[in-house]
Amino acid sequence: MQNSQNRILIAFIIVAVIFGGVYLFGREKVTNAVEQLELEYSDFRIDQITLFPPSLDLNTHI
CA dihedral 15, 17, 20, 22 (to 10 degrees): -70
What is the reported pTM? 0.52
Residue 9 lies in a domain: yes
Give the structural domain span for 41: 2-57
Please state the domain count of the chain.
1
Is 1's pLDDT higher than 60?
Answer: yes
pLDDT value at residue 22: 93
Residue 8 lies in a domain: yes
Query: Using one digit for the tens of pLDDT, what is the confidence trace for 12-43?
Result: 999 999 999 999 998 999 888 888 877 666 66
Query: Comparing 13 with 48, which gets the higher pLDDT?
Result: 13
Strand, helix or coil for residue 56:
strand
Q: Are 47 and 59 in contact (CB under 8 A)?
A: yes
Is 50's pLDDT higher than 70?
Answer: no
